[in-house]
Structure 1
Amino acid sequence: MNHLVGKDERMWAMIVHLSALIGFLIPFGHVLGPLLVWLFRREEGLYFQEHGKEAVNFSISVTIYAAVSSILLIVFIGLLLLIALFFFWIVFVVIAAVRANEGKSYRYPLTLRFIK
């Protein structure tokens, strides 16, 4: 994508990424936030569609990684993985939101692509 994307669509693309931060307030809000914003604004445009799918896929991936890390708490490495995953999640959500607002495409690293 390029900078020719409308201001409104860029704003909603940014919001779909940042809505994952609702997870600080609501259990599983990190998945529900992007999912609900994407579902309600799906018709916003192709640029928003791209960012919405990416945000939902990343949130689901982070949930899976957190579940595996939680299981690994038994062998103590899980705590380190959960801490690293937390910072990884925050940093990349913010990067994605900034890129979306700039009108640029963004692909999260280590993301399982469930929604194509």
Structure 2
Amino acid sequence: MSDTTPTAVPPLSASDERLWATLIHVGGIVFHFLPALIGYLVLRDRGAFIHQQTRTALNFQLTVLAGYIVGIFTSWFIVGLLVLLAVAALNIVFSVIAAVAANTGEHYEYPLAIRFIR
């Protein structure tokens, strides 16, 4: 018979946590909320730093998604196109800032992010 009890997942080293957090923040620029969601689901139990960073990135990317939805629905007005451009620019700028902070091991909270996940 095989043992089917779940085994505890070992924590990541500090450098691995920083690496994964950096990749998740940068991945949000291209793949939007998917890297943050996958990282949150897979890595959140592997360390306190990665848990905080994936949660923060996921909250921000969900906020960006909401901004894109608002921009799309109001795109028949000029303001909707401006919203889309502003959200895209903020996504790039804040994701790069968060990636640099994560790479140095600093905790970073995105400004303007709605806290969907606490």
Fold shared by both chains (TM-score > 0.5): yes
**Displacement of 1:99:** 0.2
**Displacement of 1:48:** 0.6
Relative to its length, the structure with more helix (as a share) is: 1
**Displacement of 1:55:** 0.4
Contact 1:58 1:112 in 2 (8 A): yes
2:75 to 69, 73, 76: 73
Per the normalisation by structure 2, the TM-score is 0.83
Q: Deviations over 1:17-40 (max 9, x none)?
A: 1221342xxxxxx11121112211
Q: Which runs of 5+ in 1 are unaligned?
A: 24-29
Q: Report % sequence identity.
A: 38
Q: 2: CA distance between counterparts of 1:58 and 1:6?
A: 23
Contact 2:29 2:91 in 1 (8 A): no
Tell me which structure has the larger Cα radius of gyration. 2
Q: 2: CA distance between counterparts of 1:57 and 1:74?
A: 28
User: What root-mean-square deviation, in Å, do the aligned CA atoms of Structure 1 and Structure 2 show?
Assistant: 1.4
Match of 2:63 in 1: 61
Larger relative CO (CA 8 A, sep 6+): 1 or 2?
A: 1
Tell me how many residue pairs correspond in the alignment.
106
**Displacement of 1:44:** 1.9
Match of 2:116 in 1: 114
Per the normalisation by structure 1, the TM-score is 0.85
Q: Which runs of 4+ in 1 moved over 2 A?
A: none
2:17 to 9, 26, 49: 9
